[in-house]
Amino acid sequence: MTECFNGGTFPRMEYRHNVDLEELCPVCGDKVSGYHYGLLTCESCKGFFKRTVQNNKKYICAEKQECRVDKAQRKRCPFCRFQKCLHVGMRLEAVRADRMRGGRNKFGPMYKRDRALKQQRKALIHASAFRKESSPLLVSSTHQRDYTFSGGFQPDTIPQSAVLPTAQNDIISHQHPSLLPSNSPGATLYQYPSFSNWTVKSEHPNNCAISSGSAAGIYSDNLFSSPPQGSRMPRLVMEFLRCDPDEIQLQSKTTARLKQEHSGSNKHRNPSTFSIMCLMADQTLFFIVEWARTSIFFKQLKVSDQMKLLHNCWSDLLLLDIISRQVMYGREGSLLLVTGQEVELSDISSLAGPTLASLIQRGKDLVEKLSVLKVDRQEFACIKFLILFNPDVKELEDQGFIESMQEQVEGTLLEYILSTSSQHFGRFAHLLLCRSELRTLSSLAEDYLYFRHLSAEVPCNNLLIEMLCAKRS
């Protein structure tokens, strides 16, 4: 089975569900049911361990304390079974002494690391399979735009584009008129359609089928880190980059939108900074929906699955867009807006309440982590697709396909890391953990935004509010 684009074909990997890393209980070999008392175990061993600890049971082995413990014989010798529970890492201190339901969940960070490592091992398997199925391109040291693919796929050359302009010394205030553009040459105005009826109409070409010479979201090399000279880049990573939204067009549209809103409002009353930020987020979200609808693999899904996935992850993708902009070409201590303007974080924090100030600080911490990792555009592109293809979303019609796409993206990301980083194993796990932190932060941001919406402080009748309320309907 293949995915077609630009007159060529791209091999689609077919994966069987969890065949490579079938999770088995380390005590008896039965199928695991989740994390219990420190590690993944089955329901039977979870219950046995809990009863033994809570009842302070003392067992005696009738043999030589070397009894075989497996699914068929796990009840034969409780002494050896309990010793094996302790040996493989089940934690006594995780069992509640008051016999109430629910363990002492002190091991959240450990569970996260364990899940990340398991995802890493699974991705490593799929990356290995992916390398056998496809021929990666070689990025030469002297001609980084002369890409050659096997299988007849010839990508367009990647032209240079102008660097995003920044408005220096734009200090944000409670009412900040300087965030509103005085003019916006060449920009056009437009109306937002309804997302619920899926009538979002593209106002820009399909970035996954661009013509030669189109910028299509590719920027000058000094802004984005390129793979090391002579490294191999997976073909799917290149396709992810081709699908990226056009940042220059997004900047132009957002500027035009702000100008439109300002000209239609009371000229003697400047909109609040919060309202301006919401308008920027709304415009960015519109581009994110457009990006998803025209992206490789996603457009093959039924509309119902597309809507479920986007309703689930829109805030993650919106936050990732903001954070990636700071990591790739932001300045420490400031916030680079989608319009190209730059505001000081200290000025925002000084005007923010405790909830918003906490969100800002957590976002700043995440930016610092990703900056230390020096996450590049290729990795951010992969993370976007990992966020989009979430098989855990409820009531998906094609969950198997979505899961296989997530595994393929994980394999592609790991393959890219293996070819560009000497600390590849730790880097992959760190990126997965950062994705988890992004999810937590976006959920908190949603709650904050919804509270402001209920207080009538957020502009209504736009895509941002429609998506925000969809989860709570």
Judged against a pLDDT cut of 80, whether residue 144 lies above it is answered with: no
| Percent of the chain whose pLDDT exceeds 90 | 34
356 is in an annotated binding site: yes
User: One-letter amino acid identity for 464?
Assistant: L
pLDDT: which is higher, 1 or 145: 1
Q: What is the rounded average pLDDT of the residues 344-364?
A: 89
Reported as a pLDDT band with limits 50, 70 and 90, residue 34 is confident
Fold of 129-470: Retinoid X Receptor (1.10.565)
Which phi and psi angles does 434 have, rounded to 5°?
-65, -35
Cα distances (angstroms) measured from residue 121 to each of 114, 268, 381, 414: 11, 60, 21, 10
353 is in an annotated binding site: yes
3-state secondary structure of 463: helix
pLDDT: which is higher, 439 or 120: 439
Enumerate the domain spans of the chain: 1-101, 129-470
Q: Which CATH number fits domain 1-101: 3.40.50.620, 3.10.580.10, 3.30.50.10, 1.10.8.60?
A: 3.30.50.10
Identify the bridge partners of residue 3 per DSSP, sorted by sequence position. Answer: 10
pLDDT one-digit tens code per residue, 90-128:
888 888 776 555 554 555 555 555 555 566 556 555 555
Lowest model confidence (mean pLDDT) among 97-111, 125-139, 229-243: 125-139
pLDDT one-digit tens code per residue, 273-332:
788 888 899 989 999 999 999 998 998 999 999 999 999 999 999 999 999 999 998 888
Extract the runs of DSSP E, i.e. beta strands, from 286-435.
Answer: 334-336, 342-344
3-state secondary structure of 167: strand
444 is in an annotated binding site: no
433 is in an annotated binding site: no
Predicted confidence at residue 424, as pLDDT, reads 66
What is the widest separation between alpha-carbon atoms in the chain? 90
The helix (H) or strand (E) run that includes residue 3 is strand 2-5
| Lookup: tokens for 118 | 């398991």
Distance (Å, whole) CA 312 – CA 291? 16
User: One-letter amino acid identity for 389?
Assistant: F
15 is in an annotated binding site: no
Predicted confidence at residue 303, as pLDDT, reads 94
What's the pTM value of the predicted model, to 2 decimals? Answer: 0.59
